[in-house]
Amino acid sequence: MRILVLGGDGYLGWPSALHLSARGHDVGIADNFVRRAYDLELGVESLVPIASPTERIRVWRELTDREIALFHGDLTDAAFTHRMVEEFRPDAVVHFAEQRSAPYSMIDQHHAVYTQHNNVVGTLNLLYAIADINPDIHLVKLGTMGEYGTPNIDIEEGWIDITHKGRTDRVLYPKRPGSFYHLSKVHDSHNIEFACRIWGLRATDLNQGVVYGQETDETSLDTRLATRFDYDAVFGTVLNRMAIQAVLGEPLTVYGQGGQVRGFINLVDTVECIRISCENPADQGEFRVFNQFTEQMSVRDIAETVCRVYPGRCRVEMIDNPRVEAEDHYYRAAHTGLLELGLMPHLLSDTLLGSMFGIIDRHRDRVNLDALLPEVRWRKTAANLVSGR
């Protein structure tokens, strides 16, 4: 297949592109490289050094004799988006090209507006490009389990059958997201479903849980193929952050009481989910949803697991929750679709955590301790709505 990976320079996009290329697909990546600019804005950097996009592609070509096409541009530029799709002529488009941090979207008005404009408008331009150029292209869109929130009923995979006043219908599962970032993903899902229903496009919406880990079979071939390892309180994920805190002898910071339950997935399984979705496309006119995670844990469970596995001294510290969220709630989500298509999960284990500790220890001198603690607050006052953190 010809597969175009948007956001192909990012934490998930780059290893997904390599995984698809290694499986024999013709791969192109597109990026505006703004993720690297966020690091400069926030004064942080990936724990593991990452090579330039051109060097990454060159190393991959030298190791495998396989080419990866590179497109430099922004999806909010409709003309660029159309030209790219027309030139590459993909069978599938994997869409990672969005601002992906909930805290970043909650910094202030500017960051909230930027997140929604970047994510929603970019996806709309992509939908129009697919509809205009080739409606048979399969869109594989990265969503998030955060779209659902924490409802007091079981979470289904995208759709739910309801009976109301004696009548039954199948509708999109109701969403109650917890940040302006998560809201942008909800808007994406509704726009994509509309395009499938009205224009006959086909799409797979992957509502992904929290990803952890940094290595795949492909990125491990050469240090210059490494993907990002984000640990800071804005872009870092909770398990990555706590693993770093353990190695550095810092307390593992749990927001609130730590009862928040989320779905989690290893990076190795993420790239495999992308492959499976591309190779098993949705039907024409179908808006298909998979909940992409492999296990559910609370934040407190994660902290206790890290402390149990880490060989040194480890302690947990409860801190004020900067977010507005339920800290004790019901959470049970279906996630059978990808398993039925052949996903073989890699669950969190002592071995996996041990490998993360090793990576962290080798790069411990790159950690910015100040970046580990949260500064962004969900609750805003009139004084800091526009520009405060």
Are residues 276 and 341 in contact, defined by beta-carbon separation less than 8 angstroms?
yes
Q: What span, in angstroms and rounded, lies between the C-alpha atoms of 67 and 81? A: 21
Give the active site residue among 123, 185, 204, 231. 185
Given the residues 76, 115, 123, 144, select the one marked as catalytic: 144
DSSP assignment of 326-371, as one string? -SS----B---HHHHTT-------HHHHHHHHHHHHHTGGG--GGG
- Among 181, 212, 231, 331, the active-site one is 181
Catalytic annotation present for 181: yes
Identify the H or E element spanning 258.
none
- Spatial distance between the Cα atoms of 302 and 353, rounded to a whole number of angstroms: 11
For the chain, counts of helices (H) and of strands (E): 13, 14
Q: Is 144 a catalytic residue?
A: yes
The 8-class DSSP code of residue 155 comes to B
**Residue 159 contacts residue 171 (beta carbons within 8 Å):** yes
List, in sequence order, the alpha helices (H) in the chain: 13-22, 34-42, 53-64, 78-88, 102-105, 109-116, 122-133, 180-199, 238-247, 267-279, 299-309, 337-340, 350-362
Chain center to CA of 322: 21
Give the residue numbers annotated as catalytic, written as ranges. Answer: 144, 181, 185
